[in-house]
Amino acid sequence: MRALLAAVLLALSTGCAAEERVVTPTLTGAPPIIIAHRGASGERPEHTLASYRLAIEQGADFIEPDLVLTRDGVLIARHENEISETTDVADRPEFADRKRVKTIDGREVSGWFTEDFTLAEIKTLRARERLPQLRGTGHDGRYDVPTFEEILALLEEVNEGREVPIGVYPETKHPAYFASIGLPHEAPLLAALARFGYRGRAAPVFIQSFEVGNLKALRAKSDLPLIQLMDAEGGPADQPGASYAAMASPEGLKAVAAYADGIGPNKAMVIPRGALGALGEPTTLVRDAHAAGLKVHPWTFRRENYFLPLEMKAGVNPAGHGDVQAEIRAYLAAGIDGLFSDNVAEATAARR
């Protein structure tokens, strides 16, 4: 019995030691930033002004709009240019004939696409929850699709009188595809940011993309901070033969540092999961990126059991809320410079 008790106490003490991780400094020594992934998208339909406003109220440092374009060249916030998942367009008989099959980044996609609608038509649509099985539909139909200018205007409003402004972290979605149909992102994006005063290296903005050419084109025209996004598999759609794995190597990161200020990796590239889904040990990615002078902002932290590591789930219901704060703390200990989260309140609490 005494031996069993000793073993239990040893296990408990080992567990406590694991919780008390030594935190690795960020690249600059500044506190890591909390980026509201598509707003407070764990509680409101993503990419709506209501979602962004709630994220700001919950303490986000940056809000993140994914940007696509309308037929008349207006930047709007949607996760994809195919919008049947996030709006009621499929239920609108007046737009039934707009359904198309297109090839986007080498993949065949069927649905309704923003580039086939004017802004006035987009504004008649209503936003829907993208993950209804996990988050319900209680807010469906309440909000419209915002333009990038409307998001910047919201920030201008909430930043009035703030000592430290809430920043904006736009992502250019499928920029090579949009450029191929005569709707490039760069000019309208930079023009909108300039109109709202975002200029220079210290501006509260990061522009992100999974592609490379778009970021290099932006660097040639602007000194605003840029982030190269990376996934755990595949490579940039505009760079045939290139892989994110190679870009994440020490040599690859040096090449990224020639045009970008940081990377936004899939979080599995920072701390992978084991065969059973438990959180593993950190890779060298943060250390290697910092050595190249790059910040590291992994994505995406969500509180639903469906997304969490095995040991941080709470029950078996995929929609149940587990311990996302514990997951975030593990990544903060690895020295990341910021993180994307659907759940801003939990992310800011974990940082505290």
- Residue 47: active-site member: no
Selecting among 79, 185, 290, 297, the annotated active-site residue is 79
d(CA 309, CA 330): 11
Tell me how far apart the terminal alpha carbons of the chain are, to the nearest angstrom.
40
- Residue 297: active-site member: no
Using alpha carbons, list the distances in angstroms from residue 347 to 25, 35, 62, 71. 18, 9, 12, 37
Selecting among 37, 47, 185, 297, the annotated active-site residue is 37
d(CA 169, CA 254): 23
Known catalytic residues are 37, 79
